[in-house]
Each structure stands twice: as C-alpha cells, then as structure tokens.
Amino acid sequence: MKLLEYQAKSIFGTYGIPIQKGFVIDSMEGFQEKLTGISLPVVIKAQVQTGGRGKAGGIKFADGPEEAQALCAKMLGIDIRGFRADEILVLEKKNVVSEFYLSIILDRPSKAPLLIFSPQGGMDIEETARSNPDKIAKIPLDPFRGAEDYVIDYALDKTGTDRRHKAGLKELTDKLFSIFYDYYTLLLEINPLAIDESGNFLAVDGKVEIDDSALPYLPQAASWLDRLQEDKLVLEAKKMNFHLVPVDEKGDVGVISNGSGMLMSSMDILSQNNLSTAAAIDLGGGATAERITEAVLLMFRSKNIDTVFICTFGGITRCDEIAKGACEAYRKHNGPKKNLVLRLEGINKEEALRIVSDSGLPLIVAEGIPNSVKAIAKLKGR
C-alpha cells in the first residue's frame, strides 16, 4: 500500500520528524479560511501515487492568497501520469540551504532493513546512482540495534558529507527505524530531506509503502484505503485480507490457488491456450469454506471476469472445504452468469466430488490443470 504524501507526513509528524505546516483539501470550500492558518508563500502539491509530479504540473508555488486559490482550483482533478488529483496538499514554503536523500527499505537479499543516504537529494536516487555513485551510501541495518553511531559515520564519510550533520541524521534515522517496524513498511523515503536556514532538518517530501498483509493491525492506515486510487477489486480484497493481483486488464479469467507456484503454472497454461488471466488470488494454506466463498464472490464482482478457475492441491486446505465454498459462492451470486471450474486433488477429494455432484450446480470439475484449461477454452468457444 503506497501512501499519499500527506498520509506519509502525518506518520512522520507523529514520530517527531520535522514537517511543514499545511492542510489538505478535496474541494475549494472554505479554502481562504484554511489558508489563514499558515504563512505565505506556499507550495501546492497534487496528491497522487506517482513520482515526477513537478514535471507533470503537479507542484506549484503561490505568493498570495488569490494566486493560491486559483492554482488549487485549477489543479484539483488534473491527471498526473494516469492518476487523478482528488486531493491537494498546501504547505508553507521554506527556504532550503541544501537537500539530502534518506530512506530505509526492506532489502530482501540481505534480509534486513537497508539504509540509503545521499547528500544529493531532490532527484531520482537511481539517477544519482548512475551519475555519481560515490555520493550514495547503502548500509544494511541490524534489525535489533538499528543505525548505530558507526553506521552514520560511515554514511557521512563515504559520501563526503560534513560530520556536523551527524547528530541530526542519527536522530532522524532512529525515528525512521521505529516507523519501519511499527508500520510494517517496505519503503520509507524522505526526498528531499532539506536543511533550512536555521540548520534544521525538514522532511520536504515523503514516501511510505506498507506491507498489505499488515493492514489488519494498522487501523489508521487501513482507513486510508478509500482515498487511494487503486483498482477497486484490489482495495476490496485488501479489506477482506486477500492478496489479489491484477494481471491483464483485458483478461476474463480469475484464478484462485493455494500456492504461488501452482498459481503461476495455471496462468502459464491459460496463456498457452490463448486465454488471459484478469486477476489472481493466492489463498495460502488452511483456507476454510467461508474464505473460499469470499474469494470466489470477490472474483465474480469483476465485470471483466466471466470464468473463475480454482486450482488447488488439498493439503492444509482440504478439497471438501474448497467444494463447499465454491458451491456456496455460486448459490449466493446474483449477478450476470459466471462459470466456475474446479481442479481438485489431494485430501478429501472423493468427498469434494460428491459435494459438487449432489449440489446440482453447473460447476465443472476437471482432472489436472491442462484438462481444466481445455474446459475453460471450450466454455469460451476457443
């Protein structure tokens, strides 16, 4: 889950990371009254889940209240790289002396949080890596100790940054490290991390990406889902604690499985037979009949999906639970006709076949993935 800038900064502020004073609007109602609460001039920033806003017209500056109002009215609803700016963040403009880059990401190769620091902020870190790699320090952090003094010393010395910034950088990094674990984040980024005329650090911009599987434990973050412009089916899946992956917007088959390898194999064979997957759900292990029902109904709610393919191996998730859930979903669905194809193998397979047969529902059961895909192709006349 990628947060909008103002959402990221609200977390920063809670942890004592300095941010600019400002407000967020989704309409022009009461704008001038809100503007009186902060100092002019201001920076006006479209809130969208993408970078490159400045070049796309999503960041403007205003010296007076009339100019600020006119710019906000013009920017509300504009398209920024395929995202609609439904909200605008208005912030006090600060005079900046220098700009740094600071982030902590989940680094899967090192299986640890990775600190990235550069004294060249305000630009894409990938561009800095290409043009001036000596100005970037990347340091794996001890998951228990965080950024100890020697880590900050190395980051400053490696990039040729004045050590007078050590205390401030250490304090900021400790706060980011706390957020990293408290919010189950995959990415925390401050770019630029500015130094103002008083020599103080300021988070001018911020990015936060949260692990979707942690949302049930983060009610504040979960409440922001409706403000984000993700696929509606993905948002609905997150609220139900499913990991749904959109695959092909032109696809018409939804695939449900209980293992990523089986899921990928199913999609590959579908593709080989000129069938396209619209979305996929990995159930993981131990899914109950109720969860199967929820997953199928979620897929059925997609207007593009006309066929749902459940491809599972009955282990922790028993075949009879899958059959019960599939049948219940078919009974509950009251929209346009949908097809449901099951590949059942493993524990309680015979019981599952009996449940489907006794239901009298037009569910299709096939042996093996290739035969299941052939059945789907036949349904579609291919």
Give the per-residue pLDDT at 37. Answer: 93
Q: Which segment, 97-101, 255-259, 301-305, 313-317, is predicted with the most confidence on average?
A: 97-101
Which pLDDT band holds residue 229 (cuts at 50, 70, 90)? Answer: low
User: Which two tokens mark 70?
Assistant: 């006119």
Q: Give which of 196, 174, 7 is closest to 98, Cα–Cα.
A: 196
Give the per-residue pLDDT at 337. Answer: 92
- List Cβ neighbours of 150 (8 Å cut-off, separation of 6 or more): none
Picking from 131-135, 246-250, 322-326, 359-363, which range would have the lowest pLDDT averaged per residue?
Answer: 246-250
Picking from 118-127, 250-259, 345-354, which range would have the lowest pLDDT averaged per residue?
Answer: 118-127
Contact 85, 76 (CB under 8 A): yes
Domains and CATH numbers, the chain: 21-93 (3.30.1490.20), 96-217 (3.30.470.20), 231-379 (3.40.50.261)
In the predicted model, is pLDDT for residue 72 greater than 90? Answer: yes
Residue type, 263: L
Contact 28, 69 (CB under 8 A): yes
What's the sign of the alpha-carbon dihedral 300, 305, 307, 312? negative
Q: What DSSP state is assigned to residue 175?
A: H
Give the per-residue pLDDT at 205. Answer: 94
Cα of first residue to Cα of last residue in the chain, in angstroms, is 38
Long-range pairs, 148-156, Cβ under 8 A, ≥24 = 151/115, 155/115, 155/117, 156/117
Q: 4-16: string of b/e by CB count within 10 Å (b at 16+)?
A: bbbbbbbbbeeee
Distance CA 306, CA 299 (A): 9
CA gyration radius for the chain? 25
User: Which two tokens mark 351?
Assistant: 């019981």
Q: Give which of 33, 12, 375 is closest to 185, Cα–Cα.
A: 12
3-class SS of residue 116: strand
Distance CA 134, CA 160 (A): 9
